[in-house]
RNA sequence: GCCGGGGUGGCGGAAUUGGUAGACGCACGGGACUUAAAAUCCUGUGGACGCAAGUCCGUGCGGGUUCGAUUCCCGCUCUCGGCACCA
């Protein structure tokens, strides 16, 4: 008979809830620990990624709680966004109705998993009580100039009918959500000045030792800092100048052309100063180039397009005249949209001149080698070397040349040292209904007017109907759009764009700390106590999305003075869980390899589901779903259940007096006692230090095997057995809390296991009374012996050398050397 | 191209500071119980040769350091992920 998880699991869930067992308050006893999971989007039902995420989180929260920590462990729903609108159209309902229904269902699922959240802190981002404060943050940023509106070429997703932030364009230029190729559109949009924090966002990555290297690298790449010189280039005979940026100012004497992006404003200027035919040619070329999408540009495979404008630029370093070209490989939104072309030392410039027959001037040579012949060069010489053809800078090693020439440019007033970032400001406008309204109105007289703080929230009308064609439902609500200007009282229109939902998720972890608070987004003293998050668990797909935005928000919040000035980072520990895979692919409806969580819980119980997912793989690696593996986990729990249930009577009767190692006579009981405490020791270290939950489970299985094979003879033996069962249940409880509670009760314990203290390994029970020592001959394993532990190396070597087996092994051979390792091995090096 | 992770049995995965490679589980083989099956229990299981004792091979590939290397060093290779005409 399998154990009855269907009765046990709800029973304990109810008891925990009735007791408020997991309610938590700031300032309670013990060191604080904030354990946070990436809150789910209410898509309908939890999937296996959620099971994994929340099994890891709940395990951590429960483990630390048992270890005396005051653990903040909350949950919520990231409940604005596209899918709700799509569902509303498809099912002819309202996004709010669909979202609420899904949240209710998913709350039920989270409870059936046995997660130990403090449910009083539940946060739902679509509630006015929450998004009011997102709007408030927007206003604060507007005041500080961190939120601004500008006309810009932006990423547009046709399927989603909205613009996207750079971070939300993934792979080779597709929408992160629906994978539609993104196109550029010129629109007036709201941006957040995240680039103001680029430097700090980058620098502080070095102060996050609790983050995986992968994520740090991804963010470093994304922010993409480079140091160089920004300088002016004069266009001969026009009085115009072009700004350029370079990281290799040391190659300034090697310029053979200047190239402009097609969208560069000076292009039009040059066209207007050209004669008719020429003008049309330039404008036509520029228009053709700028119309091409990012995908088309890169798909060209590096084959560069360009056109000579006929104008000449003056190299500031030496006064030389070089042609000015328009080139498709110059990006309009990086640097200045114009470059100095140095084909000898930049591969792209090299490719360009080889195609269009422009010159090459080497200005860096390898140390000890002559200046290369440009005609013989087959590729650009990108590596550092020694300057040449560079006037007074000849002979300087590259880093020195960069330093000297930069200083020279600054001295002459030709340019300035500057740092460039790849990171762009965060475009937060969305042409969508189901989101947080941007609290701004447009007045014909006053222009852009922020909604006053005391008028917040700007509520999203819930009686809007999402139209079939999917456009923003707010556009069909003139009654909502038309309003009065807060400044002049005249007619004004509300902003109909809503905020990127990533705004909602950029600060929710602060809101958990002060649920329902209505004076501010959160109480500063709550944040001061609980923040930063000690462990944040979620998928790696947010490495350059949510995890950058939340860092930015935290810095902004700190600058607003809501948290102490030194609280600059939201998450000190980060655990990026791997994907859940089935049959070699990520679970997805289209592949038909989805395993339903409810079905698994119904068939095997939550404890089994949790145990399997924690056991099958270390948390940061991808995990192969295996139906057989689930059965294995279930088999183990049944085994534990039978073991305890079968001996329940004698366990209840057994002495609860602590039996120290020294008081145990029988060898069997001594061995079990050692097994118990080495298990406690290993499980504790695996969870706390290594986060290797899979090996922790393996240890518990070993202890179970040991307990099952154990034959207690007397009362002391029985007491040790009871100690073993208690220890097993304590260790098991963060993994499989329901069955552990049930068996805890069954052996006659009163009180809630989940609130009990974690067991402590007894030092003297970790000592062994014999060790296995191996004999190696020339490094190869030959024999094994039992030896008393702690023998010093000489003694160990001596004893092993005296053994018959050893003598036989080395008979007739010259012993060159004997190496002994305490408690481990003796290696005899022989000749002949 | 640059950056980062990874490569261990049939599979998921273990291996303190270099010190018994393959813990634990899955799958599979043999056995017990059963009329039978399921469940459960016992047992075997990296490969090759061997009746056996045992010997040899074995942690992506090739070198090196060392008494001894999955672990350290050098050079490759494959794979996953990120970035990428970023000046």
Q: What is the pLDDT of residues A344-380, one digit of tens each?
A: 999 899 999 999 999 999 999 988 888 989 988 888 8
- What are the distances in angstroms from CA A650 to CA A59, A659, A711? 30, 17, 13
Which stretch of A57-66, A124-133, A674-683, A792-801 has the lowest confidence by average pLDDT?
A792-801
Summarize pLDDT for A231-265 with one digit per residue, the tens.
999 999 999 999 999 999 999 999 999 999 998 99
Termini Cα distance of chain A: 64
Q: Which residue has the tokens 């300034």?
A: A252
Q: Is the CB of A821 under 7 A from strand B?
A: yes
Å separating the CA of residue A584 from the C1' of nucleotide B78 = 18
β-bridge pairing A225-235 and A415-421: antiparallel
Determine the pLDDT at residue A832: 63
Q: What DSSP letter does each residue of A294-307 carry, written as one string? A: HHHHHHTTT---EE
Query: Is pLDDT above 80 for A543?
Result: yes
Q: Is the CB of A631 under 7 A from strand B?
A: yes
A249: nt with nearest C1' to CA: B87
Which stretch of A124-133, A216-225, A452-461, A501-510 has the lowest confidence by average pLDDT?
A216-225
Determine the pLDDT at residue A287: 87
Would you place residue A297 in the very low, low, confident or very high pLDDT band (cuts 50, 70, 90)?
low
Summarize pLDDT for A95-108 with one digit per residue, the tens.
999 999 999 999 99
Q: Is the CB of A419 under 7 A from strand B?
A: no
Query: Is pLDDT above 70 for A301?
Result: no
Query: Is pLDDT above 60 for A181?
Result: yes
Q: Is the CB of A195 under 7 A from strand B?
A: no
- Looking at residues A454-462, what average pLDDT do you find? 96
Summarize pLDDT for A573-598 with one digit per residue, the tens.
999 998 888 877 778 777 778 889 99
- Looking at residues A663-675, what average pLDDT do you find? 93
Determine the pLDDT at residue A610: 97
Query: Is pLDDT above 80 for A35?
Result: yes
- List of A residues 600-619 with CB within 7 A of strand B: 615-618
Round to whole Å and give the CA distance between A168 and A174: 8
Q: Is the CB of A176 under 7 A from strand B?
A: no
A701: nt with nearest C1' to CA: B24
Would you place residue A805 in the very low, low, confident or very high pLDDT band (cuts 50, 70, 90)?
confident
Round to whole Å and give the CA distance between A68 and A43: 36
Round to whole Å and give the CA distance between A689 and A209: 14
Task: Round the average pLDDT of chain A to a whole number and report it.
Answer: 92
Helix and strand counts by DSSP (H, E) for chain A: 28, 34
Q: Is the CB of A746 under 7 A from strand B?
A: no
- Looking at residues A675-680, what average pLDDT do you find? 96
Q: Is the CB of A425 under 7 A from strand B?
A: no
Is A233 strand, coil or helix? strand
Determine the pLDDT at residue A789: 86
Cα atoms in the Cβ-side hemisphere of radius 13 Å centred on A497: 19
Provide CB contacts within 8 A for A121, sequence distance 6+: A74, A75, A76, A512, A513, A515
Query: Is pLDDT above 90 for A738?
Result: yes
Query: Is pLDDT above 80 for A40?
Result: yes
Query: Is pLDDT above 80 for A322?
Result: yes
Calculate ∠ Cα A621-A77-A47, nearest 5°. Answer: 40
- Looking at residues A201-214, what average pLDDT do you find? 89
Query: Is pLDDT above 60 for A1?
Result: no
Residue A98, token pair as written in the block:
């669909």
Determine the pLDDT at residue A293: 60
Round to whole Å and give the CA distance between A825 and A800: 9
Query: Is pLDDT above 70 for A634?
Result: yes
Sign of CA dihedral A747, A749, A752, A754: negative
Residue of A509, A560, A570 whose CA lies nearest to A204: A570
Q: Which residue has the tokens 């590729």?
A: A379
Would you place residue A209 in the very low, low, confident or very high pLDDT band (cuts 50, 70, 90)?
confident
Å separating the CA of residue A609 from the C1' of nucleotide B26 = 16
Main-chain phi, psi angles of A313, to 5 degrees: -105, 155
Percent of chain A with pLDDT over 70: 98
- List of A residues 302-321 with CB within 7 A of strand B: 302-305
Contact A606, A732 (CB under 8 A): no
Å separating the CA of residue A782 from the C1' of nucleotide B49 = 19
Is A826 strand, coil or helix? strand
Q: How many CB atoms lie within 10 A of CB A435?
A: 31
- Stronger pLDDT, A46 or A541, i.e. the higher one: A46
Query: Is pLDDT above 60 for A12?
Result: yes
- Looking at residues A278-304, what average pLDDT do you find? 76
Phi-psi bin for A368: left (phi > 0), alpha (psi -120 to 50), beta?
left
Q: Is the CB of A337 under 7 A from strand B?
A: yes
Strand ranges for A176-220 from DSSP E: 183-192
A348: nt with nearest C1' to CA: B85
Chain centre to alpha carbon of residue A185:
30
Q: Is the CB of A822 under 7 A from strand B?
A: no
A639: nt with nearest C1' to CA: B40
Q: Is the CB of A281 under 7 A from strand B?
A: no
Residue of A515, A528, A509, A521 whose CA lies nearest to A574: A509
- What are the distances in angstroms from CA A399 to CA A250, A383, A406, A793? 8, 11, 11, 54
Burial bucket for residue A478 (CB in 10 Å: 0-12, 13-18, 19+): exposed
A346: nt with nearest C1' to CA: B87
- List of A residues 680-699 with CB within 7 A of strand B: 690, 692, 694-695, 697-698
A302: nt with nearest C1' to CA: B85
- List of A residues 36-95 with CB within 7 A of strand B: none
Would you place residue A158 in the very low, low, confident or very high pLDDT band (cuts 50, 70, 90)?
confident
Which stretch of A44-58, A561-575, A810-824 has the lowest confidence by average pLDDT?
A810-824
- Looking at residues A713-739, what average pLDDT do you find? 96
A339: nt with nearest C1' to CA: B87
Determine the pLDDT at residue A182: 84
Residue of A407, A399, A361 whose CA lies nearest to A252: A361
Q: Is the CB of A224 under 7 A from strand B?
A: yes
Summarize pLDDT for A482-506 with one digit per residue, the tens.
999 999 999 999 999 999 999 999 9
Contact A50, A580 (CB under 8 A): no
Summarize pLDDT for A404-435 with one digit per residue, the tens.
999 999 999 999 999 889 899 999 999 999 99
Q: What DSSP letter does each residue of A110-141 carry, written as one string? A: HHHHT----GGG-EETTSHHHHHHHHHHHHHH
Round to whole Å and give the CA distance between A409 and A418: 12
Q: Which residue has the tokens 């902004």?
A: A556
Strand partners, A581: A586, A624
Query: Is pLDDT above 60 for A178?
Result: yes
> Chain B: nucleotides under 7 Å from a protein CB?
3-5, 11-15, 19-21, 23-27, 39-42, 55-56, 67-69, 81-83, 85-87
Round to whole Å and give the CA distance between A503 and A825: 60
Query: Does the reported pTM lie above 0.90?
Result: yes
Query: Is pLDDT above 90 for A334?
Result: no
Long-range contacts of A687-690 (CB under 8 A, 24+ apart): A687/A59, A687/A60, A687/A63, A687/A734, A688/A63, A688/A67
Q: Is the CB of A779 under 7 A from strand B?
A: yes
β-bridge pairing A415-421 and A574-577: unpaired
Determine the pLDDT at residue A550: 96
Give the closest residue to B39 (Cα–C1′).
Answer: A1
Is A367 strand, coil or helix? coil
Provide CB contacts within 8 A for A525, sequence distance 6+: A26
Å separating the CA of residue A785 from the C1' of nucleotide B52 = 22
Burial bucket for residue A137 (CB in 10 Å: 0-12, 13-18, 19+): buried
Specify the DSSP class assigned to residue A195.
Answer: G
Number of residues assigned to chain A: 832
- List of A residues 705-724 with CB within 7 A of strand B: 705, 708-709
Is A46 strand, coil or helix? coil
Round to whole Å and give the CA distance between A86 and A414: 55
Residue of A729, A718, A725, A722 whose CA lies nearest to A752: A729
- Looking at residues A310-328, what average pLDDT do you find? 95
Would you place residue A437 in the very low, low, confident or very high pLDDT band (cuts 50, 70, 90)?
very high
Å separating the CA of residue A810 from the C1' of nucleotide B54 = 17
Residue A579, token pair as written in the block:
């994907």
Contact A94, A765 (CB under 8 A): no
Q: Which residue has the tokens 């089935």?
A: A582
Q: Is the CB of A701 under 7 A from strand B?
A: yes
Å separating the CA of residue A620 from the C1' of nucleotide B79 = 18
Residue A818, token pair as written in the block:
């004997």
């Amino acid at each position: 008979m399998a154990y009855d998880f269907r009765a046990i699991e709800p029973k304990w869930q109810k008891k925990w809830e009735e007791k408020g067992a997991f309610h938590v308050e700031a300032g309670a006893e013990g060191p604080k620990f904030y354990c946070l999971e990436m809150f789910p989007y209410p898509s309908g039902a939890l999937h296996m990624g959620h099971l994994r995420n929340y099994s890891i989180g709940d395990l951590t929260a429960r483990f630390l709680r048992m270890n005396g920590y005051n653990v903040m462990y909350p949950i919520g729903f990231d409940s604005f966004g596209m899918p709700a609108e799509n569902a509303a159209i498809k099912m002819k309902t309202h996004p709010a109705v669909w979202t609420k229904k899904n949240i209710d269902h998913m709350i039920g699922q989270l409870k059936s998993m046995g997660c130990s959240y403090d449910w009083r802190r539940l946060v739902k981002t679509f509630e006015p009580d929450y998004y009011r404060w997102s709007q408030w943050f927007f206003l604060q940023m507007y005041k500080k100039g961190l939120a601004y509106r500008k006309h810009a070429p932006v990423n547009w997703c046709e399927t989603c009918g909205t613009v996207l932030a750079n971070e939300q364009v993934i792979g080779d230029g597709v929408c992160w959500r629906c994978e539609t190729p993104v196109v550029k559109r010129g629109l007036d949009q709201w941006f957040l000045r995240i680039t103001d924090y680029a430097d700090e966002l980058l620098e502080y990555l070095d102060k996050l030792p609790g983050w995986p290297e992968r994520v740090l690298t991804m963010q470093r790449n994304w922010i993409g800092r480079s140091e160089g010189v920004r300088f002016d280039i004069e266009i001969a005979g026009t009085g115009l100048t072009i700004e350029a940026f370079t990281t290799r100012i040391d190659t300034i004497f090697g310029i053979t052309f200047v190239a402009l992006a097609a969208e560069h404003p000076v292009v039009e200027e040059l066209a207007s100063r050209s004669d008719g035919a020429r003008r049309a040619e330039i404008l036509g070329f520029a228009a053709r180039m700028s119309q091409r999408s990012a995908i088309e540009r890169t798909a060209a495979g590096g084959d560069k397009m360009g056109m000579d404008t006929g104008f000449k630029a003056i190299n500031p370093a030496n006064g030389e005249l070089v042609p000015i070209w328009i080139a498709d490989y110059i990006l309009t939104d990086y640097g200045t949209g114009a470059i100095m072309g140095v084909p000898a030392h930049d591969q792209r410039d090299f490719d360009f001149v080889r195609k269009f027959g422009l010159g090459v001037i080497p200005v860096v040579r390898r140390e000890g080698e002559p200046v290369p012949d440009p005609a013989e060069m087959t590729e650009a010489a990108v590596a550092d070397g020694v300057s040449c053809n560079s006037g007074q800078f000849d002979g300087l090693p590259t880093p020195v040349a960069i330093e000297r020439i930069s200083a020279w440019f600054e001295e002459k007033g030709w340019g300035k040292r500057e740092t460039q970032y790849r990171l762009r400001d965060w475009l937060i406008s969305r042409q969508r209904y189901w989101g947080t309204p941007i609290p701004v109105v447009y007045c014909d007289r006053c222009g852009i007017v922020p909604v006053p703080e005391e008028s917040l929230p700007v509520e999203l009308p819930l009686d809007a109907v999402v139209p079939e064609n999917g456009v923003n439902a707010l556009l069909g609500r003139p009654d909502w759009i038309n309003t009065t200007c807060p400044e002049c009282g005249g007619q004004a229109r509300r902003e109909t764009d809503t905020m990127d939902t990533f705004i909602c998720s950029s600060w929710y972890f602060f809101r958990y700390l002060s649920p329902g608070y209505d004076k501010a987004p959160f109480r500063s003293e709550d944040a001061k106590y609980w923040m930063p998050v000690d462990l944040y668990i979620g998928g790696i797909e947010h490495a350059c999305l949510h995890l950058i935005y939340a860092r930015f928000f935290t810095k902004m919040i700190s600058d607003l003075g809501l948290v102490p000035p030194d609280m600059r980072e939201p998450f000190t520990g980060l655990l990026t869980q791997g994907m859940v895979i089935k049959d070699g692919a990520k679970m997805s409806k289209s592949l038909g390899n989805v395993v339903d969580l409810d079905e698994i819980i119904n068939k095997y119980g939550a404890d089994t589901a949790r145990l399997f997912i924690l056991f099958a793989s270390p948390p940061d690696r991808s995990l192969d779903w295996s139906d057989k593996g689930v059965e294995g986990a279930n088999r183990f729990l049944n085994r534990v259940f039978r073991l305890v249930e079968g001996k329940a009577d004698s366990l209840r009767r057994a002495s609860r007096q602590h039996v120290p190692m020294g008081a145990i006579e029988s060898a069997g009981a001594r061995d079990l006692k050692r097994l118990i405490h080495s298990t406690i020791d290993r499980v504790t270290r695996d969870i706390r230090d290594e986060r290797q939950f899979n090996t922790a489970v393996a240890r518990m299985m070993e202890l179970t095997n040991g307990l099952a094979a154990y034959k207690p003879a007397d009362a002391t033996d029985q007491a040790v057995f009871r100690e073993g069962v208690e220890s097993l249940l304590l260790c098991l409880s963060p993994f499989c809390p329901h069955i552990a509670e049930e068996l805890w009760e069954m052996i006659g314990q009163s009180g809630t296991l989940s609130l009990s203290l974690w067991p402590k390994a007894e030092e003297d029970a970790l000592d062994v009374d014999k060790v296995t020592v191996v004999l190696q001959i020339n490094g190869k394993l030959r024999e094994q012996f039992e030896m008393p532990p702690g023998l010093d190396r000489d003694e160990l070597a001596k004893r092993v050398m005296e053994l018959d087996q050893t003598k036989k092994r080395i008979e007739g051979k010259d012993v060159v050397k004997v190496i002994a390792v305490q408690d481990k091995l003796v290696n005899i090096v022989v000749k002949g």
